[in-house]
Structure 1
Amino acid sequence: MTYLKSFQFPNESMEWGFFMGIRRTCHDSFYPFQVLSQRGLEKIEFEPVTILYGGNGSGKSTALNIIADKVGAVREAAYNKSNFYPDYIKLCEMERISEPPENSRIITSDDVFDYMLNIRNLNEGIHQKREDLFKEYLESKYADFQFHSLEDYEKLRKVNLSRSRSQSVFVRRQLMDNVREYSNGESAFLYFTEKIEKDGLYILDEPENSLSPERQMELMAFLEDSARFFQCQFILSTHSPFLLSMRGAKIYDLDEKPVKVKRWTELKNVMAYYEFFEAHRNEFRKERNI
């Protein structure tokens, strides 16, 4: 499914026209001006899966944030904006095939890391509460307590519960179970499968972070199926050869100037993997007795 057909960024001429019309000269940075225009990225034409590829500082995250803001995608983690950011967004144009669904969102590495930290913090809080309840159980069970008024009802309830139940039952009755804590890779993969629903536009910034090669292949299959069968559109940045190999993905190489559309097998990062494994082909064959 394709909700967003194309996105137009301001070119150097448009940016120069903007600067000529302002009098603000006390700024050291005009970000995000002069970032994408310097790469020659003026227009992206989207497919159900569109990938921005490039090295650090190539502008991938900048482009994704700009698209997300213009579309109005839901975002959780905050990110840095300059004073000129709203001005830049106004100069951008987009062409839609249909209105992006309300559940459309941008997911960044910060979102995933915050999710993993929240699980850990929640479990730490539950653990501390459990220790407090162990102490409360002993105090209630052996308390010299007499019921005088309705104000004492809660205390009476705890005394009766502690004297009629074991310590473990007493604690379980008043405490939620620990949220299961997965490995970082498991948690990251779970986050994507929970947040990505059918009929949505999703902007993903390097989703392979924290994922093992096996998990990256699972995410690749999940994204392919979501685009093919569940009417999702994906715009993402990645270095992962697994994600870059997704069927039907349109890849913009931001390491080229001007930016070019390429096949995944033409990309410098993928070629580095290929040449490395080719150089060690005999070692792999020996290990597998081929």
Structure 2
Amino acid sequence: MEAKPFLKEIILNSEKIADRSVYPFSIPALMNFESLKFHPDVTFIVGENGSGKSTLIEAIALNQGFGFDGGTKGVQYDPREKVSELHFHLKAIKSFSKPNNYYFLRAETFYKVASYLAEIDPDREFGDYLHEFSHGEAFMKTLDRLGSKGLYLFDEPEAALSPSRQLAALAKIHELAQNKNCQFIIATHSPILLSYPGATIFRLDESGITEIQYEETEHYLVTREFLNNYKSILGSLLG
């Protein structure tokens, strides 16, 4: 029997929320949020800066037992004063089978986690050796070391990746999802990553959270328009 998705759905338990006009519930996309159902392979969360996508994936990660800065579930060193309370109100619906591997990647704290792992155990697999590489190379090294039957959450993994490396990352995600029984939930701005065939895409905006198709994403539409008409667009922008 197919085990995926390991994480089927998250539901907001709103009974104990005292005031939905207070952050993070005041974020327009989250004001009427009730639940999200995840794809067995790849689910994307997209939205403009400030739309709440990183807040949402952070809450999902914390609900699943990850630390604020990411890494494996064993990385639990960061105080949580700066964490929103959204994760306290999430209920996770899981499958009968648990993942064997877990990893939460936050682009902005990636090296911080590597430094922490190196400090507590220099021989750890995701440790200090990552500092020998560029940010993008280190991410690809980490991606190569993700194990089978894994639940993996990424927050803007494309931050340090060139377009060609994004394509390589997409191929690796496909290999892990299709051949190694892994599930991914990814917050991203990348039109390259978003092109993954059959993925579920949730858009966060002022109207709430909506499931959309790849060709409906702003990332696809703006990129296509720019590449097809970049001279005239640059002329309008730059005068």
TM-score range, shorter chain: 0.7 to 0.9
Query: Is the Cα–Cα contact under 8 Å of residues 60 and 237 in structure 1 kept in the other structure?
Result: yes
**What CA distance in whole angstroms lies between the structure 1 residues aligned with 2:91 and 2:174?**
28
Tell me by how many angstroms 1:193 deviates. Answer: 1.8
Q: Secondary structure at the match of 1:224?
A: helix
* Matched-pair identity in %: 29
The TM-score normalised by the length of structure 1 is 0.63
How far apart, CA to CA, are the structure 2 residues paired with 1:75 and 1:277?
A: 43
- In structure 1, the gaps of 5 or more residues are 21-28, 122-177, 282-290
Q: How much does 1:250 deviate?
A: 0.2
Runs of 5+ consecutive residues of structure 2 not aligned to the other structure: 67-72, 120-128, 232-239
Change (3 A) 1:18 1:39: closer
The Cα shift of 1:226 comes to: 0.5
Q: Aligned with 1:19: secondary structure? A: coil
Matched, 1:19 2:18: yes
Shift of the 280–91 alpha-carbon distance from structure 1 to 2, 3 Å rule, reads closer
Deviations 1:93-148 (A, max 9, x none): 12111343252221111342336778xx9xxxxxxxxxxxxxxxxxxxxxxxxxxx
Q: For residues 235 and 179 of structure 1, do their structure 2 counterparts lie closer, same or farther at Cα, with a shift above 3 Å needed?
A: closer
- 2:216 corresponding residue in structure 1: 266
Give the one of 177, 185, 191 matched to 2:142: 191
Amino acid at match of 1:54: G
Q: Distance in 1 between matches of 2:204 and 2:177?
A: 24
Secondary structure of the equivalent of 2:99? coil
| 1:70-81 map, 5 Å | 70-73=63-66, 74=73, 76=75, 78=78, 80-81=80-81
AA aligned to 2:149 is D
Distance 1:100 1:66, change over 3 A: farther
Cα distance per residue 1:171-199 (max 9 Å; x no partner): xxxxxxx98933332222112222x2111
SS at match of 1:6: strand
Q: Which amino acid aligns with 1:204?
A: F
Q: Shift of residue 82 of structure 1?
A: 5.1
| 1:278 CA displacement | 1.0
Alignment map for 1:139-178 (pairs within 5 Å): none
| Structure with more helix by fraction | 1
In the TM superposition, what are the counterparts of 1:77-156 in structure 2 within 5 Å? 78=78, 80-81=80-81, 85=85, 88-114=86-112
Distance 1:83 1:224 in 2: 31
d(CA) in 1 for partners of 2:130, 2:61: 31
CA distance in 2, matches of 1:4, 1:179: 29
Task: Give the deviation of 1:273 after TM superposition.
Answer: 0.6
**In the alignment, which of 115, 136, 159 is matched to residue 209 of structure 1?**
159
> 1:52–1:179: structure 2 CA closer, same or farther, 3 Å change rule?
closer
Are the equivalent residues in 2 in contact too, given 1:4–1:98 (CA < 8 A)? no
Distance in 1 between residues matched to 2:79 and 2:225, nearest whole Å: 37
Residue 2 of structure 1 aligns to a residue in which SS? coil
Q: Secondary structure at the match of 1:89?
A: helix
Q: What letter is aligned with 1:182? A: F
Q: Shift of residue 65 of structure 1?
A: 1.6
Contact 2:30/2:52 (CA < 8 Å) preserved in 1?
no
Native 8 Å contact 1:5 1:96 kept in 2: yes
Say which one has the larger Rg.
1
Match of 1:65 in 2: 58
**In 2, are the aligned partners of 1:30 and 1:82 still within 8 Å (CA)?**
no
Letter in 2 for 1:43: S
C-alpha displacement of 1:256: 5.3
Give the conservation status (yes or no) of the 8 Å contact 2:24–2:30: no
The structure 2 residue matched to 1:45, chosen from 37, 45, 67, is: 37
| Code of the aligned partner of 1:183 | S
Amino acid at match of 2:89: L
